[in-house]
Amino acid sequence: RHAPGEGRRDLEGGSGVRHPGGGGQMDTTVDLVKLWLLCLNSQKGEYDHLLHWSTLRTTFRGLLSRETGALSGGTVEEILQRHFGAGRTHVNFTRYWRGMEDILQMYGRLNEGSMEPSKQQKVASLRAFRNTVLGELQPRVGERYTVQDLR
């Protein structure tokens, strides 16, 4: 397990995970899963299936620092709130995956790499499912959901 900043050496090294803008062809989906796991491990078991907002912020700052100002669009906090939602203390995997893909796409860094066509179809199907689920869970203006509503 790593402290929030220590896992970054894995982003550059032999794990295959590269930060946005790094050398080589990045396979976004695979690398985002690996980054998710590194972030969870850095939390030392505090949250088994949720990424704490501070971990996401620390990781994102590390990624942005490597870009030397190439990524614009506000402060780290503003970018995170825009893509993951304001007022959050934790982010689940589906929200993380969509938010990170949105950020990478916005900056022209989204890349499917060399994924096999059959795997691309599976990932596309999972993305559609993810987007549908997140869309259904998004309250409409003036609408609130309780835990009972979601059961």
Angle between helix 117-137 and 93-106 (nearest 10): 110
Between CA 117 and CA 14 the distance in angstroms is 25
Q: Tell me the mean pLDDT per 10 residues along the chain, length 151.
A: 38 37 60 92 82 92 68 81 90 93 85 81 92 80 55 53
Element at 52 (helix H, strand E):
strand 51-52
R_g of the chain, CA atoms, integer Å: 16
Cβ partners under 8 Å of residue 18, min gap 6: 11, 12, 24, 26, 31
Q: Output the pLDDT for position 90.
A: 92
CB 66 within 8 A of CB 108: no
Among candidate residues 101, 108, 105, 89, the one with its CA nearest the CA of residue 134: 101
| pTM for the full predicted model | 0.70
